Amino acid sequence: MSVSKRPASKSPASKASASKASASKTSAPRAAGGRSYRPETQLVHGGTTRSPFGETSEALFLTQGFVYETAEQCEARFKGDEAGFLYSRFSNPTVAMFEKRMAAFEGAEAARGTASGMAAVTAALVGQLKAGDHVVAAKALFGSCRWVVEDFLPRFGVASTLVNGTDLEQWRKAVRPNTRVFFLESPTNPTLEIIDIGAVAEMAHAAGAKLVVDNVFATPIWQSPLALGADCVVYSATKHIDGQGRCLGGVILASEKFIQDHIHMLLRQTGPSMSPFNAWVLLKGLETLHLRVRRQTDTAATVSVALAEHPKIVRQIYPGRPDHPQAAVARKQMRGGSTLVAFEVAGGKAGAFRFLNALELVRITNNLGDAKSLVTHPATTTHQRLTPEQRAELGIADGLVRFSAGLEHPDDVVGDLLTALEAV
């Protein structure tokens, strides 16, 4: 499975991107003799716009707005008659570089950066919906995503149905005449279930709905939901895209029409904008994304082997393993395993806490995709809002731990995990 198997990028040329062009020069990647560059090259050069100073690294345009030579020029910009930036709530050169680089790598026509992953998820859903509409979502969602679907949308007259995402029949049965959006993440947080994106997309389209996929756990390295049939992909860039625990960010990727119809005005007028500084950090993160994710995936696979027969491990879930419950779907739609492993430690919450407290190198936190190996106890953190019954239904046992592989030497990570298991 290799990243170079992903589909070639479509041209992001569009009215909106033209209107965001600046006086600076877009200089990379250059198409030499019609050559298109491979994904890894897009991660380093995609979307780069150089200022007249010709800087090597992307420039950080830390400005809230822009000045105009004349009132006539200002009017022309606002009318859309002249290309250029207007105001950093919705257009900034550094953020635009991040958006173009993400779009080039994902094979999307358009992208919009947001302040956080949750801003991206919320905008991708809210932007398509109005009172009277209905959403179907997989119930295995990150806690905040589930809150948006289950608690927040109904306040505005949008009904929602949560289904077991791995059971295609449940998606089909949940459809109503007013269903407008299907929403899922795969692999799911934290139990790493795999949902058949192509099959759900087909069902959504047959129902006249659009499919939004939160691709955070797969990363753009291992899975391309748009190529599988999804209409919109969202990321928390806070995770692997930064990958070094420095900042929050999010991104929405889709066709130019989807972005124009559902996202652009919502972000522009309501303002959950990506900071130019964060966009700059995330551009740097993208340059090394494929190296980090590959290394983290190798380490996660090594950890899953080390824990497989361990007497203190009750259950383990790793999408790269043949014993994963949806291994066949994982092989069909993912190009690699996962940087995460979920496992249940013997002794329930007390056993899990003894294990977490005995770790020295691997740190306890709720983030993932970082250079540092991290562990999370979902039942008391990301999914503590759910009732014990809801957690049990999702397989979030009190002993469940989510491990996110970092960039340390794999032997040190495995050693720390095995030593800590002795305390259980």
Ligand X SMILES: Cc1ncc(COP(=O)(O)O)c(C=O)c1O
Give the largest CA-CA distance in the chain.
Answer: 74
CB of 193: closest distance to ligand X in angstroms? 12
Helices (H), 180-275: 197-206, 219-222, 225-228, 256-258, 264-270
**Bridge pairing between strands 159-163 and 134-138:** parallel
Residues 276-295 that bind ligand X (CB under 6 A): none
Looking at 95, 102, 104, 118, which residue binds ligand X (CB under 6 A)? 118
Please give the torsion angle defined by the CA atoms of residues 44, 22, 96 and 294, in that order, rounded to the nearest 10 degrees: 0
Q: How far is the CB of 407 from ligand X (least distance, A)?
A: 19
Q: Which is nearer to ligand X, 267 or 346 (CB)?
A: 267
**Which listed range, 129-137, 142-150, 349-357, 370-378, lies at the site for ligand X (CB under 6 A)?**
142-150
Specify which residues 253 forms β-bridges with.
111, 233
Residue from 42, 236, 273, 339 touching ligand X (CB under 6 A): that is 236
Distance from C-alpha of 148 to C-alpha of 36, rounded to nearest angstrom? 39
Question: Judged by CB under 6 A, does residue 301 bind ligand X?
Answer: no
Provide, rounded to whole angstroms, the least separation between the CB of residue 248 and ligand X.
5
Residue closest to ligand X (Cβ): 117
Shortest separation between residue 191's beta carbon and ligand X, angstroms: 12
Beta strands in 225-371 (DSSP E): 232-236, 250-254, 313-317, 340-345, 363-364
> Does 410 sit behind a cis peptide bond, omega within 30 degrees of 0 on the bond before it?
no
Rule CB under 6 A: choose which of 43, 104, 121, 259 binds ligand X.
121
Cα distance between residue 275 and residue 365, in whole Å: 24
Q: Which stretch binds ligand X (CB under 6 A): 214-222, 223-231, 252-260, 334-342?
A: 214-222
Near ligand X by CB under 6 A: residue from 61, 142, 183, 343: 142
Question: Which of 12-20, 116-124, 172-180, 394-402 is the region at the interface with ligand X (rule: CB under 6 A)?
Answer: 116-124
Measured distance CA(185)–CA(316) in Å, rounded: 20
| Residue (108 or 424) nearer to ligand X, CB | 108
Q: Does residue number 189 form part of the binding site for ligand X (CB under 6 A)?
A: yes
- Nearest CA to 258 among 138, 89, 108, 132? 108
Binding of ligand X by 238 (CB under 6 A): yes
**Distance (Å, rounded) from C-alpha 258 to C-alpha 180?**
13
Determine if 117 is a binding residue for ligand X (CB under 6 A).
Answer: yes
Site for ligand X in 391-410 (CB under 6 A): none
214 binds ligand X (CB under 6 A): yes
Per CB under 6 A, does 145 bind ligand X? yes
Q: Which residues pair with 161 in a beta bridge?
A: 136
| Token output for 339 | 């940087």
Closer to ligand X by CB, 136 or 282: give it.
Answer: 282
**In the set 42, 48, 116, 160, which binds ligand X (CB under 6 A)?**
116
Q: What does the block give as tokens for 149?
A: 């679907």
Encoded tokens for 20: 């965001």
> Would you tell me which residues interact with ligand X (CB under 6 A)?
116-118, 121, 142, 144-145, 185, 189, 214, 216-217, 236, 238, 248, 250
